[in-house]
Each structure stands twice: as structure tokens, then as C-alpha cells.
């Protein structure tokens, strides 16, 4: 699948590398493109877009892309500095994904690729058992693409429910960030689902 990745930061680069290895055709869509990249503009043959910019830049980037009916996979987290350092700017009564959806009525949006670090997403196959990646969304087609791409790059992809579950996924992301940055675990770990043996 041709996937337009909006943003060329750590997450965008990691997902581009992983998707390329999995046989997909990721194209980085950037404000100032370099060789091999594309401008921040609609990609006519994209099967989906991955939104991998800081949350504060999400609506401007999506307006430039004008995705129309093409699914958008939201990898953002509404992060902000507070009195205790980095945290979420939204709580459990709203989410960044829901705000994006409200800003673009009719947007086919799924939340995914936001609950672990870029280095994990770059090569999920390094982890055993497979790390888990959750997806939330109200559009079944967008969520199906999200789950497929996560599986293709080495995650155990799990449907977390409707888009309002993004409130939980963004908090889950903050747990990973807190453990990585404040609790000494570093960035080289991932969460996994472990099931009881029957």
C-alpha cells in the first residue's frame, strides 16, 4: 500500500522504515521536502495517511493534505509541559484524536502508533513476545487499515474500540513516556499482551 506519512520526525521516519521493510510504499510528506520525499500536499494514490506531527501542528497539516475520503491514522499525542514536566494537555473527558475529528467533519480517522516510542516502531520484531499496538476509531475501514499496518510491521494489533477510546490510548502513551523518561527504563522496552495458558 502507498502510505502518505505526514511529518518527518522520529515517528514518521521510524514508521517509514518499518513499512518499507514490510513491503509497503511509504512517502514522507514534508513542508520542506528533500530528495525522495514529497511536499505537504495531497497524495493522489495514497491508501491512507499517517499523521505523525506534533499535536499542535495536526490541524494545519491535515488542512494542507485535504485527505477527503482517504483514511487518516493519528499517531499524535497532546503533550504539554506542566509543573511536573511533560504530561498530557487533555484528560479523560476528551482526546487529541476526538478534537482532530471534530475539526474535520467526515474525516475517516483511527488512532494508532501513539503508545510506544519511535525506536520500538522502527523494529518491533526485536521484541519477544510481540509488542502490542492498540487502535481506536469509529470508521471500520480506517481502523482495519491501521490494524493491518501494525501487524505488518511486527505488532500484535488489538482493536481498542471506538474513537473515544483514544482517551485511554493517549494516557497509555503517557505511561510509556513516563517510564522511559522519568523511571529509568529508557526507550528500549514495549508493552505486550500475555494470556493465561488454557
Tell me if 53 sits within 8 A of 64, measured CB to CB.
no
Tell me if 92 sits within 8 A of 123, measured CB to CB.
no
Residue 162 to residue 142: CA distance in whole angstroms: 12
- Sign for the CA dihedral angle at 60, 144, 99, 53 comes to negative
Residue 186 to residue 120: CA distance in whole angstroms: 11
Render each residue's pLDDT in the chain as its tens digit; 198 residues.
Answer: 999 999 999 999 999 999 999 999 999 999 989 888 999 999 989 999 999 999 999 999 999 999 999 999 999 998 656 666 665 656 678 899 999 999 999 999 999 999 999 999 999 999 999 999 999 999 999 999 999 999 999 999 999 999 999 999 999 999 999 999 888 899 999 999 999 988
**pTM of the full structure:** 0.92
Cell 475501514 maps to which residue?
Answer: 141
Dihedrals phi, psi of 79, to nearest 5 degrees: -95, 150
DSSP, res 120 = H
Rg (CA), the chain: 16
Amino acid at each position: 500500500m502507498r502510505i502518505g506519512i505526514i511529518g518527518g520526525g522520529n515517528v514518521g521516519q521510524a514508521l517509514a522504515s518499518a513499512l518499507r521493510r514490510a513491503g509497503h510504499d511509504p512517502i514522507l510528506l514534508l513542508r520542506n521536502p528533500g530528495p525522495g520525499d514529497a511536499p505537504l500536499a495531497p497524495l493522489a494514490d495514497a491508501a491512507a495517511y499517517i499523521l505523525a506531527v506534533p499535536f499542535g501542528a495536526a490541524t494545519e497539516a491535515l488542512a494542507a493534505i485535504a485527505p477527503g475520503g482517504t483514511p487518516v491514522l493519528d499517531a499524535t499525542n497532546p503533550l504539554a509541559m506542566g509543573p511536573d514536566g511533560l504530561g498530557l494537555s487533555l484528560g479523560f473527558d476528551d482526546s487529541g484524536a476526538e478534537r482532530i475529528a471534530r475539526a474535520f467533519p467526515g474525516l475517516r480517522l483511527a488512532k494508532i502508533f501513539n503508545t510506544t516510542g519511535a525506536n520500538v516502531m522502527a523494529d518491533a520484531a526485536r521484541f519477544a513476545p510481540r509488542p502490542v499496538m492498540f487502535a481506536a476509531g469509529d470508521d471500520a475501514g480506517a481502523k482495519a487499515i491501521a490494524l493491518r499496518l501494525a501487524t505488518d510491521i511486527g505488532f500484535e494489533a488489538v482493536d481498542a474500540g471506538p474513537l473515544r477510546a483514544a482517551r485511554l490510548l493517549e494516557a497509555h502513551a503517557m505511561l510509556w513516556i513516563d517510564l522511559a523518561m522519568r523511571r529509568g527504563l529508557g526507550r528500549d522496552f514495549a508493552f505486550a499482551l500475555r494470556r493465561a495458558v488454557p
